[in-house]
Amino acid sequence: MPIITKITTQRKNKERYNIFLDEGKGEQYAFSVDEAVLVKYQLKKGMELDDFFITEIHYEDDIRRAYNLALHYLTRRIRSEAEVRLYLGEKEIDEPIIQEVVIKLYEYQFLNDEQYAVAYVRTQMNTTDKGTVLIRSELKEKGISEKNINLALKEYPYDSQLEKAKILCEKTAQKNQKDSERVLKAKLEQKLIRKGFSFDIIAEAIDSTNLKRNDDGMEALRYQAEKLQRKYANESGYAYEQKMKSALYRKGFSLEQIEKYLHQQDWNE
């Protein structure tokens, strides 16, 4: 039966120890173990090790290596269980070892998906302009359960969501003053959908945004019409008028506005 003849500390990692065995052919290096494994199994010089015991030591040391990897990963920032599992899997850690590591991380409170979800929602609420639909989707991608997602999203009240949506609407409206009211409204809807706001929030935020123009939108229409005039410069008469009407209508202007603009153009000419 192999006997431990020597135990030495590794030069590059003082928390790992080299185990030397004599299996009847003289002393030889056999394997290394983490300090925690050394202490747990009380490994010492002169101790006899059978094959089953050595297998158990290797298994425990694999858990310790993976556990240390997970701890290092968690020092950068808080992670979800699914993220830790994915990280260890990418390190080619076997699933039974990963399961043992996850249990240990929960035991020592290094993992807590409920706390993770709450922290994530608070961070997104305070540092981004995302709505709860998008945040929910992101938490699902991180492997958070529906129960924990619902609990965490209570941190993001309706009024706070609405206020952010209104601010986005105002900023978008300011940047798109040359659009028709209909096109502007569509842009606001698309903006808020992309940011992940619910339809209730979107409807209320847009309703509170002033889309009306002081000049009934004629300035925006003139701006769009002048661009189209360059496009249809080679057209004249009926063909020019029909193309202008069609193009301006697609840009969201009413037929009444278009007729008014074209009549003014005819009068000026």
- Phi, psi angle pair for 177, to nearest 5°: -70, -15
The amino acid occupying position 151 is L
- Give the C-alpha separation, 132 to 122, whole Å: 11
94 three-state secondary structure: coil
Token pair belonging to 42: 């009380």
- Give the C-alpha separation, 147 to 129, whole Å: 24
DSSP 14: T
Q: Tell me: domain 218-268, CATH 1.10.10, correct?
A: yes
Reported as a single tens digit per residue, the pLDDT across 245-254 is 888 777 777 7
Q: What is the pLDDT of residue 216?
A: 62
Assess whether the region 3-77 and the region 218-268 belong to the same CATH fold.
yes
Q: What is the pLDDT of residue 110?
A: 94
First CA to last CA across the chain, in angstroms? 110
- Give the C-alpha separation, 198 to 41, whole Å: 57
Written out in words, the top-level CATH class of the domain with range 3-77 is mainly alpha
Q: Tell me: domain 113-153, CATH 1.10.3300.10, correct?
A: no
Q: What is the pLDDT of residue 267?
A: 43
Token pair belonging to 164: 């952010």
Q: What is the pLDDT of residue 265?
A: 65
| Fold adopted by 158-207 | Arc Repressor Mutant, subunit A (1.10.10)
The domain limits of the chain are: 3-77, 113-153, 158-207, 218-268
189 three-state secondary structure: helix
Q: What is the pLDDT of residue 93?
A: 95
* Under-70 pLDDT residues of the chain: 212-218, 233, 235, 261, 264-269
Q: What is the pLDDT of residue 61?
A: 95
Q: What is the pLDDT of residue 245?
A: 80
